[in-house]
Structure 1
């Protein structure tokens, strides 16, 4: 099976390559090999590779920057999906986000729930979803991180080394997702031939404050930090950002879990795995 993977140097892209099944012949590309804002370039890429499957792990993920760069965000998050669908008659696997929801739910969001994005990033990701066909595979996720990537965990670790104390938002609720675990779920859904929409995040619930507290505790235990600092919970109103964030973006992942017939790992256990990898990276 020949598989074209876009966004190959991103957190998920690298994890997809690392966890790919032995029978998959991977052709991985990143922005340096193909400009995803250029529909003709995408068409030429697909024509040259002739993949059996395309996994689109590329995205414009700078949530706040997207508010002032809507055209660029739309080109990558929506236009590239349209171009891939038009160029590739076979199955497309596309990865989306909890930000397509408004955060007003009182229960975890199901794959079939109505979307109501409240940011440019969320809107452009929703627009990308709309280009998919019924036999394509859509996987939504949240709060993705991995060792060596650009993410909340590594940012918090750096700040804990630099600052005497931290203030972290406590009223945005969701679940972290370790990228290698997400990649394995995607490959599992591909193996099942699954069409339609699925959700995946790690088990459990957290606020960004909870996540930061856990990062410090686990990093101290591993020796990645040599001192403990105070972490103060604050409301989102005390940390204004250009883009609005959903207050509650927990995803109901039962559909994927039932199909793959396995339990899924709590986010704190996966955080521990990631930090051990971070330690090995030095």
Structure 2
């Protein structure tokens, strides 16, 4: 099976490269190989490779920046995805986000719940979903949330870095979701790919892929410092809860980002691990100073 992997140097793409079976022919595509900001670049890259499966792990993930750079966000998250959907591969696997919802639901969101993004990033990712659906080819869309992995800019590495520099941090406490490791996303994707290669794929469509349980950003930050202390790296930084309105981010976020993963777990016969398990692993691997030094303080989503 020949696979074109876009975004191979990102959080999910890097995790996939480390897990994809060597028996498969995998062509990794970083931005220098296929710049999705350039119209036609995605289609041209796929035409050269002629893969059986496209895995699109590339995305515009700067949520706040998207508010002022909407054209670029839509170019990467919507228009380039439309090119990939029309590129003619047997299957397309792409990733979306909890931010396609408005967060007003009381419980976890199901795949068929109404979408209503609150920010440009969410609308641009929803545009990618719609482009795939309109094409009508065989595809899997995995919506996920609060992605983290060592060695990349994300909430875990940012909190570890800032907690080492400051005496206190203010963290939003009125938004909840499930921190999800790129490793879990990659492992699930590999399982889906194996089923495709064996001729027994799960049904095409949209699925929610996230760790089990939920927490707020505030309690998430507290848990990160707890995990660091358990690993022998005490960070004497006080974490203070604030509301999203007090924190003042450019882009609105949903108050509730919980995703119901029942559909995907049933399709794969799997039980996804708790969010704490993944965070503990990312913290343990991130407290190595050699890893932290490679991480930018800029936080995205995805």
TM-score tier by shorter-chain length is over 0.9
Query: 1:12 aligns to what?
Result: 12
1:40 CA drift (Å): 2.3
CA distance in 2, matches of 1:98, 1:277: 26
Query: 1:176 aligns to what?
Result: 179
What aligned pairs does 1:145-164 form with structure 2 within 5 A after superposition?
Answer: 145-164=148-167
1:230 CA drift (Å): 1.7
Consecutive unaligned residues of structure 1, counting only runs of 5 or more, are none
Query: 2:198 aligns to what?
Result: none
Output one character per residue of 1:219-240: Cα deviation in whole Å (capped at 9) or x when no partner: 011123x342221111111101
Query: 1:272 aligns to what?
Result: 280
What aligned pairs does 1:106-125 form with structure 2 within 5 A after superposition?
Answer: 106-125=106-125
Q: Secondary structure at the match of 1:102?
A: coil
1:112 CA drift (Å): 1.4
CA distance in 1, matches of 2:109, 2:270: 20
Of stretches 125-134 and 55-64 in structure 1, the one that deviates more from structure 2 is: 125-134
1:231 aligns with 2:234: no
Consecutive unaligned residues of structure 2, counting only runs of 5 or more, are 196-200, 292-302
Query: 2:255 aligns to what?
Result: 247
CA distance in 1, matches of 2:251, 2:287: 33
Normalised to the residue count of structure 2, the TM-score between the two structures is: 0.90
Contact 2:85 2:137 in 1 (8 A): no
Contact 1:134 1:196 in 2 (8 A): no
Contact 2:160 2:287 in 1 (8 A): no
CA distance in 2, matches of 1:219, 1:227: 8
**Alignment length (residue pairs):** 281
1:41 aligns with 2:49: no
Of stretches 7-16 and 37-46 in structure 1, the one that deviates more from structure 2 is: 37-46
What aligned pairs does 1:103-142 form with structure 2 within 5 A after superposition?
Answer: 103-132=103-132, 133=136, 135-142=138-145
Runs of 4+, deviation exceeding 3 Å? 279-282
CA distance in 1, matches of 2:274, 2:191: 19
- Correspondence for 1:217 among 218, 226, 237: 226
Contact 1:37 1:79 in 2 (8 A): no
Contact 1:220 1:228 in 2 (8 A): no
1:134 CA drift (Å): 5.3
